[in-house]
Structure 1
């Protein structure tokens, strides 16, 4: 049995480097030698023992790029191709899948959550989940195609129009990427709130109006910036009861709220306040295949630059350090693990 090195989730707040059996390919799969893999919020949920599906021992990591080492089956992909992985796994049989909406499959799974992912030297990936990386895009940047696709899908689900004012509640990587994408979609003024000075400084660097929720009243600040009306579109990306309440009151009459967060506990929201001002509520999940392809294309042509998002490049041996850094939003934004560095 051939083995490989992997960073494994063992138990709550416990990740360590160990060995796994190197994947053996099934028909229709490619063996990927992982170049870069990002730690994201879902990985942190697993790390804290809060994810309902992830089972230890698990090589997490669903944001990753790599190089094809082997292909089993007829394909346009070949050994040596640089690829980024679209990690969603759908059944292909439910109503959502049959209508072309595989990203809301009744039994949707993800590589790195429901099977071993990118925090390992090698991963077996279905051929139809691969996207070639254009020459103008680095492996490290390509690893962020997944969160970029989330931003694109979210803004596509919204009503953002040229000249709109947008409020983003939460300045983590997804919130910042949504703000960037909203700007590309035509938003004129973008306000983004958080309680992390480090992440708010990133928002300012990207040209957004940063609101520190510890120091100012976010609702009052958004209303003051919009002549008392509120934002045309509000994106809730923090997943807290505080922002669940704020999203209603920072939104203008007949405006739109887009909930991006996955709430661990149901929040309390004022439906009457929404009712009286005819607010629209939209939810969003993951991304479509088209969104993912668009993410790769927009990153490759320079429309979306993820350089400001990458705070650390670490080796696989440093994966425990990476998760410790991610517990402090003042030290990290996007950490990339390089299993074969």
Structure 2
């Protein structure tokens, strides 16, 4: 079968590899779509970062390995002992490996497991025609949720988990900094939680146009004094919940100047450079910075439910490509900023459920 195998920085090869077989407690999945994540870009251009160069303690794998941790597909075979799933089931995959023994896992916070691993970063993943995953990673897709949307459950769950941590009020104002895929996911999640008063702050005209087409209200920080606008809009209260999905100093500074008293700026970005954080406003405002990592099963379930109710729409920001084009039309296009979200179709097929993915 074909797979995108990572060997190191700028070394991703679409190669023929052996087709995997399910082992006890696992299922074999025919991949429908696999999204290229910002983490994948970091690995390709500057890695290995998370991809292990020595055997990972939970998976035993190391590079070279098949990339891909945002994916959906159809089960084709099950391993011994699997009774809850069968061939033909359509699933989204929550790609977390966790130890189950560390304090975080014992408390139920396995998304911050001390030895956390990801299918497709610490093991052979979904950027292939087939992959094998444990049953605890599986989430069934309703009939009205396409495999295309199913591949977006993982990144949308990252955003949903962060949205929840911000404790947004339906009566308050929420703000999202950055209109990339996670920023778009935050906007969808907030809307799904009943928050109507949401502003997305984004300097890129292209990205502003993309999220505006979905129905969002945007602010251009190069043209608007964002903190002053929010102060006026909220009668001086500030924003109820603020989310940084941009990961750059100017966004963080502006976000912290907008957050209301005793409220949170939730950080869901990867910061490539050290930040200088203005703490005086946090002290005087008794506000805080809240980190957010990954998701748990309830986040996946919530996103799938919202998808089944038509909350999510891929129009204008999601592109599908064949596996053979993964470098030029995938990694290079995303790095150049000519595409926003790319889903790789490893088999060359289209989702047999139909093409409609909007409300």
TM-score, normalisation: structure 2: 0.88
CA distance in 2, matches of 1:291, 1:114: 22
The equivalent residue for 2:287 is 279
CA distance in 2, matches of 1:202, 1:78: 39
Which residue, 251, 267, 271 being the options, matches 1:259?
267
The equivalent residue for 2:128 is 120
DSSP 3-state at the match of 2:315: helix
CA distance in 2, matches of 1:79, 1:97: 31
DSSP 3-state at the match of 2:324: helix
| Residue pair 1:167, 1:222 contacting (<8 A) in 2 also | no
The equivalent residue for 1:26 is 23
DSSP 3-state at the match of 1:287: coil
CA distance in 1, matches of 2:247, 2:136: 32
Deviations 1:72-94 (A, max 9, x none): 12321111211111101101111
CA distance in 2, matches of 1:12, 1:243: 29
**Structure 2: which 5+ runs fail to align?**
53-62, 349-359
Q: In the TM superposition, what is the alpha-carbon distance from 1:12 to its structure 2 partner?
A: 2.1
Does residue 336 in structure 1 map to residue 333 in structure 2?
A: no
Q: In the TM superposition, what is the alpha-carbon distance from 1:326 to its structure 2 partner?
A: 0.6
Which residue, 63, 70, 75 being the options, matches 1:63?
70
The equivalent residue for 1:38 is 35
| Residue pair 1:191, 1:222 contacting (<8 A) in 2 also | no
Q: Mapping of 1:118-267 within 5 angstroms?
A: 118-267=126-275
Q: Mapping of 1:70-85 within 5 angstroms?
A: 70-74=77-81, 75-85=83-93
CA distance in 2, matches of 1:82, 1:40: 22
DSSP 3-state at the match of 1:308: coil
CA 1:185–1:311: 2 relative to 1, 3 Å: closer
DSSP 3-state at the match of 1:48: helix
DSSP 3-state at the match of 1:220: helix
CA 1:8–1:28: 2 relative to 1, 3 Å: same
DSSP 3-state at the match of 1:327: helix
CA distance in 2, matches of 1:136, 1:101: 30
Deviations 1:268-300 (A, max 9, x none): 101122101111322211111111122112212
The equivalent residue for 2:326 is 319
CA distance in 2, matches of 1:218, 1:40: 29
| Residue pair 2:245, 2:267 contacting (<8 A) in 1 also | yes
CA distance in 1, matches of 2:29, 2:199: 40
| Residue pair 1:309, 1:334 contacting (<8 A) in 2 also | no
Q: How many residues align?
A: 336
Q: In the TM superposition, what is the alpha-carbon distance from 1:256 to its structure 2 partner?
A: 2.0
Greater Cα shift, 87-96 or 181-190: 181-190
Greater Cα shift, 118-127 or 179-188: 179-188
CA distance in 1, matches of 2:285, 2:94: 39
CA distance in 2, matches of 1:268, 1:13: 31
CA 1:235–1:277: 2 relative to 1, 3 Å: same
Q: In the TM superposition, what is the alpha-carbon distance from 1:209 to its structure 2 partner?
A: 2.1
Q: In the TM superposition, what is the alpha-carbon distance from 1:223 to its structure 2 partner?
A: 3.1
| Residue pair 2:9, 2:48 contacting (<8 A) in 1 also | no
Greater Cα shift, 221-230 or 178-187: 221-230
CA distance in 2, matches of 1:193, 1:13: 32
Deviations 1:283-336 (A, max 9, x none): 21111111112211221232x22323653111111111211111133x212111
CA distance in 2, matches of 1:220, 1:97: 42
**Structure 1: which 5+ runs fail to align?**
none
